Structure 1
Amino acid sequence: MAIDKSWMQKSRVSSEYHKGVLEFSDFAFSNAPGKEVLPCPCIRCNNCLMQKREIMYDHLLDNGIARNYVRWLMHGEYEFCEPTNTSTNESDMHDEMQEMLNDAFGMPMPNEESERSPHVHEEFEKPNEDANKFYNLLREVEQEPYLGCKKFTKLSFIIRLFHMKCLNGWSNKSFTMLLELLKETFPEGETLPSNYYEAKKKKKNTS
């Protein structure tokens, strides 16, 4: 089912944005029956803090929603649901990534043009330690959970598992046991974390 997300790009004082926040709240909590708190996707909480519905609603109105949260994987939208009617596309996401890199490291993200330019290429021959860590992280989250998997990235698969853990009240031990079973089941070369704490660390590092 297609979900209208165009409101995410609207002004927070617009009627479209207010209506979108209400519809998002309905969608999120209808996919988590019995749950009183869910991860809040406002800019400040960034899906790292759990909030009640009324607090989340206020946060989204006051702080705005994280605009790069285009797949609501933490709120019941699964990988096969295609977002529609949103101006956020691959080009926009790439531009946002370049902005973030400039802010964090004072350097642009390499692209086709920079690869053709000897001067720009020279800048990337010796990136600083923070930039190296960031690029390694980008490569990691784009990994497949196993060779040939096209439906999930490593990150989206871990987020999906955490969503299921949250909805069903799994213990940390049961989450680790599931990961161990999946690692045994998946083909050789799988890239899943070994336990709950490793998975939580990877999710936290990419939030």
Structure 2
Amino acid sequence: MFDHLSWSPFTQGYTMWIHHGESFVRNSTISPSTIPNMVEDTIIVEDPIQNMINDAFRVDKNHANEIPYASNLEIDQEDYAMPSATQERNEAKEYYELAREREQTLYEGCRRYSRLSFLVKLYHIKCLCGLSEKAMAMILELIKDAFENANIPSSFYEAKKSITKLGLNYVKISACPNDCMLYWGEDEERETCKNFNTSKWKTNEDVSVNKKKKKIPAKVIRYFPLKP
């Protein structure tokens, strides 16, 4: 909490709430010049994509020009260490790479979407509709082929690299099909369930004969870390 408040302090003189979705109510007793982010009684429209970038890297919008503090670190209360200079440089590099993508237009003359906002919207559709990565790769290839001047990656792998930097990633964890345990931590290397002795992997009958003989978990959960 101390580190968070030191890096992102409360805005001085912030007595009228306008930064949390509230609508502005005209009040003749308040001068617009005293309200942050107000120009001629009109609230400046914020960029949601820039807000996402700032949130991912813990950058306060009032200090957006400063180098972002290293975030998304696994912190052990008994062995806490401040991020190294290398970690901070890497985070700063990723931050400015995303900022540049936000400024890149999707195509010449396009004002509705930037390269980054288009990828975020496309990824949102993927999640809502349950599209596979293969389907997304084919869609990107089609768009790239149809619109040669579109500023988008040619593969879903490249697109995911930008999405992952925003913290919109997850961890896959193998699970027992009976929902009684996760193969996680000290149980990560187990091959069978410690409660029912069922296999961690799908049986040969479950796997298509056309696929390569690769072990496939019987069940997988997707874990979204809450701290980042």
Q: TM-score, normalised by structure 2?
A: 0.37
Structure of larger gyration radius: 2
Q: Which has the bigger relative contact order, CA under 8 A and spacing at least 6? A: 1
